[in-house]
Amino acid sequence: MGVLVKICGINSFEAADAAAEAGADFVGLNFHKKSPRNVVPEQARTLAARLRGRVKLVALFADAGDAEIGVAMEAAVPDFLQLHGGETPARAAEIRSRFGVPVIKVFQLADAGDLARVAEHDADMLLFDAKAPAGAAFPGGHGASFDWQLLRGRNFSRPWLLAGGLNAGNVARAIATSGAAGVDVSSGVETAPGIKSAAMIREFVRQARA
C-alpha cells in the first residue's frame, strides 16, 4: 500500500478534480469560518457531490458546536470529521458518537512533550501538525513545520498523517524522516492563501508517492 495523501482546504472544482485525478486518498473541506479556505454549506454540498466516490471526504472543524457540525454534515455527508481545535477526549468521543462518523484528531506539536496527550484520545485516525503561530486566527494551514524526527520510530494505536509545512519539494524527505504512512497538505499546494494550484497538487501527490 502506498503513502496516503490528503489534500486539505479544497474550495474549487478545479482543485477538487486535480486532487481526485492525481490519486489523493482524502480531500478536506474546511468549515472554520476564519480560515481563507472556509467553505459555506452550499459550496460544500456541490464540492462533495463532485468528489463522492472518487476520494474520502473529510470535514474540518475547530472547537465547533453540534449545530455547526450538523449543518456541515447535512451538506457534505463526509466520511470523516477532523477536529483541529482543543477538543478534549470526552468532546471528541461525544462528536463521534453523536454523528456516527469516524474522527481524525489533530495534535499540534512543538516538542516531544506535546505527544503526551495522544494516548488520552480514542480517535480513529491521528494527524500531527505544527503549532500555529502566536496570534493566528485559525489553527492550521500556515505553512509552519516542526521537527519530523519527533515521530520517528514511534508506534501509535491508530493510523496517522503528517502535516505542517509540507510541499512537493520536501514531502519525500518528511516521509523518510518521520516514518509517516500518510501526509496532509494545504498551503503547500497554493499560490496564495486559499488559492489551490492544480499543478502543485499533482506534483505533491507524485512526490509523496515517489
> What burial letters (b/e) apply to 106-140, b meaning 16+ CB within 10 Å?
bbbbeeeeeeeebeebebebbbbbbbbeeeeebbb
Which are the catalytic amino acids? 8, 129
How far CA 131 is from CA of 31, 46, 111, 114, 169, in Å, comes to 19, 31, 10, 10, 21
Rounded CA-CA distance 80/28 in Å is 9
